[in-house]
């Protein structure tokens, strides 16, 4: 799981990009490309380097009318995989 | 389950732009071809910029600016700017030699996404002997300091072989000290100049096993801190590598003079003719040229590949390796256990590993065309 107060951030050199040739969203990272499905893209669209994991999953739960626990579980799994590959930083909440 | 044959090729994801074959270093395993592109035949800035736009239109997402040493091009910053302008993720593959703090800051402004820095050894003695360039290691460390200060995402590319495989643990530490997110532990692949240096560089079977052990242990220990990509010594493996993600499946190389190659060693295959970006559109070259279609998919395959369930996994291995080792680019890569030549290759690998020879360094490319005979 990811700590609710942790702030996910895309580090320098990792960015979301629309691949116009394949008509899909992708995550571009150093020498790697990850194709994003709708859910992955929705989660990363909320990652702004300011809001905490809790705030992000609350927003997603409201937007997609889904149970918060489920959204939190799916998002954590997805973000954790990215963090393990160093495509995402999880910074501790301030204060 | 029978794998479905590849019908229409997918668009390429990656393009390697070999901007020049010039390089201050002369690594004895350099992948540049024996016949290097002349300096006066290199594509100019505007042509490269056009090629970058054509690549992006074709579906390329990742651009690797390579060489030789790309920093040997005076217009490198402009080329980075052009690549980012085309929407490409732009990676610089460099030894660091030729980069200054000022140039790096300009490249930062131009939008460079990532740097891959090569490491020839973990001590000045080793690195400078292998690179054939005195002072190269110290200079590289300075460059790494600027890279870290500016904040470029960094991958350290440690090239390992019999002479320096024992330095692998230190290479992992250096990567962390440099603030790299990723290290590529690349055992030398025997193409290009490395073929001439097999007696000097071939790792022993034992070294290969030890490196694999160190990598697996470090991957656990450094999870979430340092990502470790590992290329093992290929002659000692059981199955060949999926070279370039498959011939004409994922990537293309543009040589300094504009020839477009399915992989950097493709020019060693005598029957292939390569088209040039000066005369043909990249789209045409990728989808319709003879060279890209020669070994694309699975139709060209002989046995044992044709009826093998791994054929879409490794596409029969490396064509250039089959050429170099068997003189036949259509053969199954002899690294494969199913190849009738596998046993023989294992014996040859052990013989190379037990031998020794002085290093044969890579020379500089010729400046201008040779006068006609
Ligand atoms: S392998 Fe060595 S000689 Fe070849 S381009 Fe790289 S740094 Fe230069
Ligand atoms: S037989 Fe061919 S396809 Fe099968 S594993 Fe060996 S090289 Fe790959």
Percent of chain B with pLDDT over 90: 80
pLDDT surpasses 50 at A95: no
Given a cut of 60, is residue B120 above it in pLDDT?
yes
Ligand 1, CB within 6 Å, residue ranges: B 23, 25-27, 30, 32, 67-69, 95, 118, 362
Q: How far is A33 from chain B (nearest CA, A)?
A: 8
Q: If you measure CA to CA, which chain A residue comes closest to B181? A: A86
pLDDT of B372 strictly over 50: no
pLDDT of the residue at B245: 86
Q: Residue A30 is nearest to which of B151, B182, B225, comparing CB atoms?
A: B182
Give residue B74 CA to ligand 1 midpoint distance, Å. Answer: 18
Residue B142's pLDDT is: 98
Give pLDDT tens digits for B198-256: 999 999 999 999 999 999 999 999 998 999 999 998 888 889 888 888 999 999 999 99
Ligand 1 atom showing the smallest separation from residue B21 Cα: 5
Of the partner residues B87, B91, B224, the one whose CB lies closest to the CB of residue A30: B91
Mean pLDDT score, B23-32: 94
Position B294 scores a pLDDT of: 93
The mean pLDDT value for B297-303 works out to 90
In this model, does residue B22 exceed pLDDT 90?
A: yes
By mean pLDDT, which of A14-28, B28-42, B137-151 is the weakest? B28-42
- Give the residue-averaged pLDDT of B323-341: 91
Write down the pLDDT at residue B237: 86
User: Does the pTM of the predicted model rise above 0.90?
Assistant: yes
Residues of chain B positioned with their CB less than 8 A from the CB of A31:
62, 64, 91, 114, 116, 155, 182
Nearest CA residue ID for atom 5, ligand 2: B310
Mean pLDDT along residues B320-338? 91
**Sheet containing B89-94: order of strands:** B227-231, B182-187, B154-160, B114-119, B89-94, B62-66, B14-18, B251-254, B260-261
Is B336 annotated among the ligand-binding residues? no
pLDDT, residue A1, reads 77
Q: Which residue of A has its CA nearest to B55?
A: A21
Does B224 sit within 8 Å of A22, measured CB to CB? no
Contact: B155, A22; criterion CB under 8 Å: no
B27 is in an annotated binding site: yes
Q: Which of A12, A17, A84 sits opposite B153 (nearest CB)?
A: A12
| 3-state SS class at B116 | strand
Q: Is B300 a pocket residue for ligand 2 (Cβ < 6 Å)? A: no
Where does the pLDDT of residue A93 fall: very low under 50, low under 70, confident under 90, or very high at 90 and above?
A: low
How many angstroms separate the alpha carbon of residue B350 from the centre of ligand 1? 26
Report the pLDDT value the prediction gives residue B364, as an integer from 0 to 100.
86
Residue B278 has pLDDT above 80, yes or no: yes
Q: B243: Cβ below 6 Å to ligand 2?
A: no
Residue B3, pLDDT > 50, answer no
Residue B293 has pLDDT above 60, yes or no: yes
What the block records as the tokens of B143 is 């460059």
CA distance B342 to B65: 35
Q: In the CATH scheme, what is the code of domain A11-85?
A: 1.10.10.1150
What average pLDDT does the segment B134-141 reach?
Answer: 97
- Going by pLDDT thresholds of 50, 70 and 90, the confidence category of residue B96 is very high
pLDDT exceeds cutoff 90 at B44: yes
**What whole-number distance in Å separates Cα of residue B40 and Cα of residue A3?**
58
Q: Relative to the CA of B240, which ligand 2 atom is closest?
A: 7
pLDDT in tens, A30-46: 989 999 999 999 999 99
Report the DSSP pairing between strands A89-91 and B14-18: unpaired
- Following DSSP, what letter does each residue of B132-166 receive, concatenated? T-TTHHHHHHHHHHHHHHHT--EEEEEEE-TTTGG
Q: What is the pLDDT of residue B191?
A: 87
Instruction: Give the model's pLDDT for residue B243.
Output: 82
Ligand nearest to the CA of B307: 2
Is residue B263 marked as binding?
Answer: no
B348 near B235, Cβ under 8 Å? yes
What is the dihedral sign for C-alpha B103, B144, B179, B68? Answer: positive
pLDDT of B50 higher than 90: yes
Mean pLDDT of B186-198: 91
Distance CA B210, CA A39 (A): 41
User: Which residue would you say has higher pLDDT here, B61 or B235?
Assistant: B61
pLDDT of residue B1: 41
- pLDDT for B37: 87
Mean pLDDT of B257-261: 97
Q: What is the mean pLDDT of chain B?
A: 93
Is pLDDT above 90 for B371?
Answer: no
Quote the CA–CA distance of B51 and B71 in Å, as a whole number. 19
CB contact under 8 A, B224 and A30: no
Shortest-distance Cα residue to atom 2 of ligand 2? B305
pLDDT at B159 over 50: yes
ipTM of model over 0.90: yes
Q: What is the per-residue pLDDT for B5?
A: 43
* B275 vs A93 pLDDT, higher one: B275
| pLDDT at residue B35 is higher than 50 | yes
Q: For residue B26, how many C-alpha atoms fall within 13 Å in the half-sphere facing its CB? A: 12
B11: nearest CB among A15, A22, A84: A22
Cα–Cα distance measured from residue B321 to residue B327, given in angstroms and rounded to the nearest whole number: 9
Residue with tokens 């994922």: B250
> Which among B20, B27, B116 is the best mutation to test ligand 1's pocket, defined by most ligand atoms within 8 Å of the CB?
B27
């Amino acid at each position: 799981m990811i700590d609710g107060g942790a702030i996910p951030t895309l580090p320098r050199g990792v960015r979301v990009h629309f691949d116009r040739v394949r008509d899909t969203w992708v995550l571009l990272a150093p020498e790697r490309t990850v194709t994003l499905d709708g859910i992955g893209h929705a989660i990363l669209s909320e990652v702004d380097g300011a809001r905490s994991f809790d705030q992000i999953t609350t927003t997603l739960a409201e937007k997609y009318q889904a149970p918060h626990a489920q959204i939190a579980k799916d998002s954590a799994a997805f973000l954790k995989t990215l963090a393990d590959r160093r495509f995402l930083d999880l910074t501790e909440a301030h204060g | 389950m029978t794998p479905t044959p590849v019908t229409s090729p997918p668009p390429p994801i990656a393009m390697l732009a070999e901007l020049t074959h010039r390089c201050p270093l002369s690594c004895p395993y350099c992948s540049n071809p024996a016949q290097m592109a002349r300096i006066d035949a290199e594509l100019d800035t505007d042509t490269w910029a056009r090629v970058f736009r054509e690549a992006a239109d074709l579906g390329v997402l990742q651009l690797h600016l390579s060489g030789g040493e790309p920093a040997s091009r005076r217009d490198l910053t402009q080329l980075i700017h052009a690549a980012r302008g085309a929407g490409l993720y732009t990676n610089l593959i460099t030894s660091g030699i030729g980069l200054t703090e000022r140039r790096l800051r300009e490249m930062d402004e131009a939008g460079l996404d990532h740097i891959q820095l090569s490491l020839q050894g973990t001590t000045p003695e080793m690195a400078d002997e292998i690179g054939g360039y005195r002072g190269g290691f110290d200079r590289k460390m300075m460059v790494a300091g600027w890279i870290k200060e500016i904040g470029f995402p960094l991958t350290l590319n440690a090239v390992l072989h019999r002479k320096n495989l024992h330095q692998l643990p230190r290479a992992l530490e250096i990567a962390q000290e440099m603030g790299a997110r990723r290290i590529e532990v690349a055992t030398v692949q025997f193409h290009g100049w490395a073929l001439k240096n097999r007696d000097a560089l071939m790792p022993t079977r034992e070294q290969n096993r030890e490196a694999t052990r160190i990598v697996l242990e470090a991957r656990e220990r450094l999870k979430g801190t340092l990502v470790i990509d590992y290329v093992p010594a290929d002659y000692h493996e059981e199955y060949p590598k999926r070279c370039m993600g498959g011939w004409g499946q994922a990537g293309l190389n543009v040589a300094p003079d504009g020839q477009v190659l399915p992989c950097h060693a493709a020019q060693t295959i005598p029957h292939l003719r390569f088209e040039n970006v000066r005369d043909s559109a990249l789209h045409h070259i990728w989808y319709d040229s003879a060279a890209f279609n020669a070994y694309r998919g699975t139709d060209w395959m002989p046995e044992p590949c044709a009826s093998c369930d791994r054929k879409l996994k490794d596409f029969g291995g490396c064509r250039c390796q089959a050429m170099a080792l068997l003189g036949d680019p259509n053969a199954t890569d002899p690294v494969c256990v199913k190849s009738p030549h596998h046993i023989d290759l294992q014996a040859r690998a052990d013989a190379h590993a037990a031998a020794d020879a002085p290093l044969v360094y890579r020379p500089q490319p010729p400046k201008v065309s040779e006068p006609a005979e």
